[in-house]
Structure 1
Amino acid sequence: MANSKSLKSSLSQYKSKKFVGVILSRDKTPMSILLLSVVVGLLAGLVGSLFEIGVSWVSESRTDWLKQEMNSLLPLWLSAIIVSATLAFIGYYLVSRFAPEAAGSGIPEIEGAMDDIRPVRWWRVLPVKFFGGLGALGSGMVLGREGPTVQMGGNIGRMVSDIFRLKDPDGRHSLLACGAAGGLAAAFNAPLAGIMFVVEEMRPHFRYNLLSIKAVIISSVVATIVFRSISGQDAVITMPQYIAPDLNTLWLFLVLGLIFGIFGVTFNRLVTWSQDMFVLIHRNDQKRYLITGTIIGGCFGLLLLYLPELTGGGIQLIPGATNGDYSISLLLILFFARVATTLICFGSGAPGGIFAPMLALGTLFGTFYGQLALQIDPTLNIDPGMFAIAGMGALFAATVRAPITGILLVIEMTNNYHLILPLIITTLGATIMAQLLGGQPIYTQLLHRTLKKAKLQQVDLPKHDEKSPEEDKAETISETETEINRK
């Protein structure tokens, strides 16, 4: 009997070991890539945290310096113009002189790099994006820090690949994606959104396999831990905790989503239009580009004194809007005014992102919509703040065309998990409407624009019987653009 039990036990252990062996033999994940993804997450989280601290320090120091020092030398309004114009000039100069690919949010550059059609000059982009972003955001321009952190994170991924002399193309691609995920996670203290942004929004460029998914998850988690260790574990946006709305009010969230679907397509087209208008102004001449950017920075320095609601990324507006600090008419005025300032700042090519400004726009119109609904029917058991949160996710979904990322991002940023059902309804409505109208995701449009610009630069190259490397690259860009359109 004892021998029988011992035999069964041995057989059971053998089967268990064999099963584990089979699983391990199937998992071909190189441990080196996973270990390097930890390094990428650590660095992306550290750089993202330092960038946030730096932007806050520059903004606060600028205000204190104006009040304490320069107010005795010059009129306050003139000092504000000079200081902000100088900060903006730093951002524009670094971009135009050292790394033109650091202009704008930088996310299309990472997507292009994942397709091997855009260069990743991390030794240039990292310092230019960091210090140029400090200047542009510190001047009070309507820009977000998430675009810079995503681009810096992606460049960190490529830097780690180069430092450790990683030759495997899939491994290099995975670390690039790791950096982007870690950068977004650190920007918004949102690990799930960081993971899903790469998997969902970057899906035409992301190479899906078990290795890359594991690496992206690890990097996002590590970057978030670093961010929370430095900046704390509180949600990025301080808002009331709302309960789930009544089921008979969910149709209101669908209507809001449909409205944002229309606006999202319009907004994307306005972004590319504003970029084209600025090209007509500065004509790709460095002096004109710097003068234009400096003037914009100076104007926003003046706005900081008299209309601060129209400056900055807009995250600071969200708690006030949801708490009822603004009347229904003022909410609508702020919404359209910030649409204009967002287009001016982002379209000018300043090194800054557009996520945060979009979240502010979604909050303003969402709160306006909620207050309007209550005025029409005061018996509704709703709070306008619910629609502010839904509006953030809806505008993100309509412009970026990544509904799941929008839902996770808003929930993680506001800690309002009870609103997941209305968020799903609103983002779904926005995405469907945007698709019906034929609009493209914002970063796809920006990448197409970058590729066309790169292609046009090949027109004046000399022709030879044999194709030059530049001509080969131009053809590659054209073919890749066609493939992106197909996807």
Structure 2
Amino acid sequence: MTDINQGTPASERLQPSGLVRRFLSRDKTPVSVLFLSALVGVGAGLLSTLFEICVHWISEQRTEWLRAEFSSMLPLWLSAFLISALLALLGYYLVHRFAPEAGGSGIPEIEGAMDDLRPVRWWRVLPVKFIGGLGALGSGMVLGREGPSVQMGGNIGRMVSDMFRLRDKEGRHALLASGAAGGLAAAFNAPLAGIMFVVEEMRPQFRYSLISIKCVMISAVTANLVFRSLSGQEAVITMPQYDTPVLRSLWLFLLLGMAFGVFGVVFNKLVTLTQDMFVKIHRNNRRRYLITGSVLGGVFGLLLLYLPELTGGGIALIPSATNGEYGVGLLFLLFVARVATTLICFGSGAPGGIFAPMLALGTLFGTFFGAVAQHYFPDLGLQPGMFAIAGMGALFAATVRAPITGILLVIEMTNNYHLILPLIITTLGATMLAQVLGGQPIYSQLLHRTIEKEKMAHREQSEAVNT
């Protein structure tokens, strides 16, 4: 029997080869681009997972050095200061000497590259971000590995485009976005959040098309498969599984979201003010820059020894806070103190991200708010951990201005699917109030700042030449 419309025998169309030919004839996406997006996902997944493994190894080795080698020669506090100062020095030096665009989280650089406003020098950024990030994060500074994973993933996308000499602009753009999605999916073990981050947060830069969205999805899934193969399938954060809260308690989640909406706007402004403060301190002079970074790293080495709760990305702090290990007053003090340490570390220009520190801040204040709500409304049966999870999504939504990504990210990281309604309400309240207050998304704000600084530098250079 022959299908008149297709002109192909039905028996042949039911064969695997016939199905493949039909798919390829109907799907106009170049197969080569889809294959390259999978390759980008493998590269982003491998690099992000290796980065995580190396960060843990550096942290463990640092402890071993303190115990075995240096403690016999120097006082423990001096050994801690020197080791962290040297690790931080490595990160700051590589950034200032070889790739200034590798400073900070790197996500604004990827957004700028997607808009053809920023260069992608993957041959410089990949080694600098990887090695420099290990130094900065290994020193104990309050930085996350997720931003670097996104930047390195995007650079993997451009590297693959260059290596395979891809000329198509849409294809090159799709692979750049695919790398960013793969980096985030592997860093958080959150493939849906990786896809949505590119589609939602990078929406001004992301050129949505069937080709680009397929590439992003393939890369995110592939990168996540690589991560799970190497690191396991467990959620990134180990937390209790909470039941759905009663409906009459949802107004408290809205109130928490509004509080984070206000804080998110203030926090974003404080980030730029802190960056300006560090520019005034080092004046872009390499020697001053390295001294400032080394001292900062050394101080966090001391804090790592005596006050470890104020150091590191903060992911390990989240289960402790939600399991009731800190009192209400201590939770608030930790929140305030970590706001200061987060601003100092990120504002200094060290090669590290702000994702994880923001999630820790959301957890601390959310748990504090939940403990207060539990005290005043005991009949609602609420647990502080519910508000901790909602707080993570709310602060992310208020600062990054990507509520759907925040919801998916928190759910995938904690496996608390029953809290999706409170999460939606909290993130919606945070996003809407932040928008009403005129706050700008943090990564767009940082990209605009970078472009303005570059224009000013060119202007000063031109004036110097003319005179």
Which of the five TM-score ranges fits, normalised by the shorter chain?
over 0.9
Distance 2:247 2:23 in 1: 46
Deviations 1:331-361 (A, max 9, x none): 0000000000000000000000000000000
C-alpha distance in 1 between matches for 2:460 and 2:100:
20
Distance of 1:136 and 1:13 partners within structure 2: 61
The TM-score with structure 1 as length reference comes to 0.91
Q: Write out per-residue CA displacement over residues 2-54 of structure 1, whole angstroms, 9 at most, x where no aligned residue.
A: xxxx6xx755875987xx99975553201110000011000000000000000
**Counterpart residue type for residue 354 of structure 1:** I
Identify the residue that residue 434 of structure 1 maps to in structure 2: 434
The 5 Å alignment of 1:447-462 reads: 447-462=447-462
Q: Which secondary structure does the structure 2 equivalent of 1:203 belong to?
A: coil
Residue 372 of structure 2 aligns with an amino acid whose one-letter code is L
Q: What is residue 167 of structure 1 aligned with on the other side?
A: 167
C-alpha separation between the residues in 2 aligned to 1:461 and 1:301? Answer: 39
Aligned to 1:146: 146
The answer to whether residue 176 in structure 2 is matched with residue 193 in structure 1 is: no
- Which amino acid in the other structure matches residue 189 of structure 2? N
Residue type of the alignment partner of 1:109:
E
Letter in 2 for 1:383: Q
**1:253 to partner: Cα distance:** 0.4
Q: What is the percent sequence identity of the aligned residues?
A: 74
What is the rounded CA distance, in whole Å, between the counterparts of 2:55 and 2:48 in structure 1?
11
Q: Does 1:403 align with 2:396?
A: no
**Counterpart position of 2:212:** 212
Matched with 1:128 is 128
Match of 2:298, as an amino acid? G
Partner of 2:63: 63
Post-superposition shift, 1:462? Answer: 4.0
Instruction: From the superposition, tell whether residues 22 and 142 of structure 1 become closer, same or farther in structure 2 (CA, over 3 Å).
Output: same
Aligned-residue offset at 1:376: 1.4
Note the C-alpha offset of 1:72.
1.1
Counterpart residue number, 1:155: 155
Q: Which amino acid aligns with 1:30?
A: P
Amino acid at match of 1:116: D
Which residue does the alignment assign to 2:232?
232
**Where does residue 176 of structure 1 map in the other structure?**
176
1:96-149 deviation per Cα after TM superposition (whole angstroms, max 9, x unaligned): 000000000000000000011101000000000000000000000000000100
Q: Match of 2:384, as an amino acid?
A: P
Q: Which residue of 2 aligns with 1:272?
A: 272
- How far apart are the structure 2 equivalents of 1:353 and 1:429? 25
Aligned residue pairs total 456
Structure 1 CA distance for aligned equivalents of residues 4 and 124 of structure 2: 60
Deviation at 1:377, TM superposition (A): 2.1
Deviations, residues 377-397 of structure 1 (Å, cap 9, x unaligned): 222211100000000000000
Residue type at the aligned position of 1:441:
P
The letter for the 1-side match of 2:326 is Y
2:117 matched residue in structure 1? 117
Aligned amino acid, residue 68 of structure 2: Q
1:24-423 alignment, distance < 5 Å: 25=25, 27-423=27-423
CA–CA distance in structure 2, aligned partners of residues 76 and 10 of structure 1: 81
- In the aligned structure 2, how far is the partner of 1:422 from the partner of 1:26? 42
Name stretches of at least 5 consecutive residues in structure 1 with no aligned partner: 1-5, 469-487
2:458 is paired with a residue whose SS is coil
Would the alpha carbon gap of residues 215 and 58 (structure 1) be closer, same or farther in structure 2, given more than 3 Å must change? Answer: same
> Aligned residue for 1:477?
none
Instruction: Specify the code of the residue in structure 1 equivalent to 2:95.
Output: V
Inter-partner Cα distance in structure 2 for 1:441 and 1:255 = 21
CA distance in 2, matches of 1:66, 1:273: 35
In structure 1, the residue matched to 2:16 is: none
Structure 1 residues 378 and 70: CA distance shift in structure 2, 3 A:
same
Distance 2:35 2:299 in 1: 47
> Aligned-pair distance for 1:65?
1.3
**SS of the residue aligned with 2:79?**
helix
AA matched with 2:182: G
Q: Which amino acid aligns with 2:124?
A: R
AA at the equivalent of 1:252: L
Match of 1:457, SS state, is helix
Letter in 2 for 1:312: G
Which amino acid in 2 is paired with 1:117?
A: L
Letter in 1 for 2:369: Y
From the superposition, tell whether residues 94 and 378 of structure 1 become closer, same or farther in structure 2 (CA, over 3 Å).
same
Cα distance in structure 2, aligned partners of 1:258 and 1:457:
39
User: CA separation of 1:241/1:274 partners in 2, compared to 1, >3 Å: closer, same or farther?
Assistant: same
Aligned partners of 1:316 and 1:328: how far apart in 2?
19
Determine helix, strand or coil for the equivalent of 1:459. Answer: helix
Separation of aligned partners in 1, 2:420 and 2:84: 40
Whole-angstrom distance in 1 between the partners of 2:396 and 2:448: 20
Shift of 1:64: 1.5
Q: Counterparts of 2:248 and 2:395 in 1: how far apart (Å)?
A: 23
Aligned equivalents of 1:206, 1:298: Cα separation in 2: 40
SS of 2:460's equivalent in the other structure is coil
Deviates more, 1:420-429 or 1:369-378: 369-378
- Alpha-carbon RMSD: 1.7
- Tell me: CA distance 1:12–1:458, structure 2 relative to 1, closer, same or farther (3 Å): closer
